[in-house]
Amino acid sequence: MPELPEVETIRRQLEGALVGQSIRAIDIVAPKSFQGNPELIIGSIIVGIGRRGKHLIFKFENGCGMLIHLKMSGQMIICRDDPADCLNDGDDPSGRLYDQNEKYTRVKFKISNGQELLFNDMRRFGFVRVLDQNQMQTLEEDLGLGVEPLEDDFTADHLSKLLKKKPKSLIKPFLLDQSNIAGIGNIYADEALFAAMIAPDRQAGDLSAGEIANLAEVIQEVLEKSLKLGGSSMRMYVQTDGSRGSFLDQANVYGKEGFLCSRCNEGKIVRLKIAGRSSHFCPVCQR
């Protein structure tokens, strides 16, 4: 599933391409992927594109909005000419990352500048939802998401207060809980815990003040690094031009089961299910 760096990468690219434009028409190829009244946003100028956790939020001049969640396999592809030409599969010989002939396109947006925006979703878990003005006003409360880890209010003190509320929670599931911290998924939880030298099955209440401060810092560092690398392309995630993110090429533990730890050179990375989710870590230097 695209996590904060992937969704933020897409947001920035969409913002640069679409703000100031309007949606001329919407072709709903798969009705189950689209919710709400499309007429609310057709013709209204896009004034901003935000992000909350793993959600994209389009904001329109008339006060309405559009919420998009990519879930497991969603893609947002900007086509500047012929849609058949915008999905360049030359970077991926297997073809798995690219939707040939728009096979998995669920919604098409015709943009006022002649571009076309495609919402692709192979597994059909993602959605596009049009929001009226009242729904936009209550969106923050309705989403129920926690703090944004790249915002100024995510500090060691803030993280400490969150952990104290759930002292029995294991730290890995705690990081994945979107009501605690918004946008962190399996990849970046594993990488941040490795950087902090904290085992994923530690209880939140067992972490020292120093460990908490370090964890808050490395969470931001890991996310920022991934942003610079365009995110992580493991299965279906691509940027708006179809290109891959390269963070996983530099990952320390995620997807590295059986490899020697890059830090201690003693332990081998193991994969263990914790609260139903796979966790990757070094059993020697993560305590």
Q: Is 277 an active-site residue? A: yes
Is residue 287 part of the annotated active site? The answer reads no
Question: Which listed residue (2, 5, 173, 200) is catalytic?
Answer: 2
Beta bridge partners of 120: 75, 105
Angle between helices 4-18 and 209-228 (to 10 degrees): 40
For residues 110, 111, 116, 118, the Cα torsion angle rounded to the nearest 10 degrees is -80
Question: In Å, what is the CA distance from 24 to each residue of 40, 117, 136, 278?
Answer: 12, 11, 21, 43
CA dist 171 and 202 (Å) reads: 6
Per annotation, catalytic residue among 54, 59, 106, 256: 54
Asked if 3 is an active-site residue, the reply is: yes
Per the CB < 8 A criterion, the answer to whether 44 and 60 are in contact is yes
Whether the CA torsion 183, 184, 187, 188 is positive or negative: it is positive
Are residues 177 and 144 in contact, defined by beta-carbon separation less than 8 angstroms? no
Record the tokens describing residue 71, joined without a space: 């879930």
110: annotated active-site residue: no
The one catalytic residue in 3, 6, 191, 211 is 3
- 12, 52, 80, 277: the catalytic one is 277
Q: Which residues are catalytic?
A: 2-3, 54, 277
